[in-house]
Copies of this chain bind each other. A is one copy, B any other.
Amino acid sequence: MPRVTIFGTGLIGASIGLRMRQAMAGADLEIVGADSFRDHAKAAERVGAIDRAEPDPRLAVEGAGLVILATPILAMRELLEEMAPALEAGAIVTDTGSTKAEVLRWARQWVPPAVSFVGGHPMAGKTDTGPGAADAALFEGARWAVVPTREAAADAVEVVTALARMMGAQPMFMDAAEHDAYVAAISHLPHLVATALFRLTRDSEAWPELSLLAAGGFRDTTRLAGTDATMAHDIAITNRAQIAHWLSRYREQLRVLQEQLEDTTDETALFRLLSESSFEYDAYRGGAVGRHEIDEQMYEHMPDVAVLDMLLSPTMAARARELVRRQEERLEESERRARGERR
């Protein structure tokens, strides 16, 4: 019987199992789950994410055509070393780790020539962790980075791409260095940004009052501080240089921002930064992706024409006037329609 083995039956591993079961309903397939925390494997079995738990890594990969590593990153190294001799010739190994350069290095070191390793990283997650939070729709619409080793067979890359699609995700090919630089910026840096903000306020003498007053904005900005520490620590020490690079740039950005905030002789630089960010953020959230698309969509998403008076750069003011004119036309148009409907 075709067999898939999932190492790590937490949120990601169990969600993959659930989705696979759903997509392959009725197919002749066994999903084996292995987790160093046995209760996790049992829980994954209970929710139907795996067919059976097998704690011994070598026994778990016996007869498996596809092996998925969904553990914290450092655990993958030990797992690869331990199970590699038991992998079947022709098997395909992939992972879901948040950094890729180190994982691919370990794969090259331990995976035998007859086995292909193709790295993967689904860009999805949620606040709750563990198999109890597993969700077959977790990866729906998400990007799934696919990072093959040079040695991987072409059909192995196809299988991992198909796995990403089966999960409802969109595969995106890149190399390990690109991947690690990108995720340092949009995933690892945000985690540290959130952690530092939570740490600072939590350690304040005023925390009892601060925590009472804190509303949705604080909760959203600090949400990533709740990330599982083992996962986050493994990420930090396997992507240290890239994260440090972005952290330095972020600190410089904050330094400039503070300079603008404290400059009482010129309040326009701060306003321009705040308004550009607000417009561009609305465009980004409105679904615009990439620099070009956002530049185009800015005009449609400008949030508040009161801002117009304070826009000081002539080009921005001209854009804004044009927007206001169009917005007023649209409002009049919709009011005309509303009046028409009432008749």
Contacts and interface: CB of A to CB of B under 8 A. Distances in A.
A250 B258 CA distance: 11
Interface in A189-224: 189-202, 204, 206-224
B225 A277 contact: yes
A272 B295 CA distance: 42
Interface in A286-328: 289-292, 294, 303-307, 310, 328
A280 to B, nearest CB: 6
Interface residues on A, range: 35 or more
Given A130-B304, A185-B201, A212 B274 contact: no
A221 B194 contact: yes
A85 B185 CA distance: 54
Interface string A115-126: 000000001111
A232 to B, nearest CB: 5
A185 B212 contact: no
A248 B258 contact: yes
A100 B130 CA distance: 44
A223 B220 contact: yes
B274 A229 contact: yes
Nearest to A292: B208
A206 B194 contact: no
A251 interface: yes
Copies in the complex: 2
B290 A207 contact: yes
A233 B207 CA distance: 26
Contact of A223 (B72, B143, B217, B246): B217
A70 to B, nearest CB: 13
B250 A200 contact: yes
Contacts of A178: 209
A255 B251 contact: yes
Contact of A261 (B211, B236, B275): B236
A279 to B, nearest CB: 8
17 contacts: A37-B304, A127-B285, A130-B303, A174-B209, A185-B206, A185-B210, A187-B218, A191-B217, A194-B221, A225-B277, A225-B281, A228-B278, A232-B274, A233-B275, A233-B310, A236-B270, A251-B251
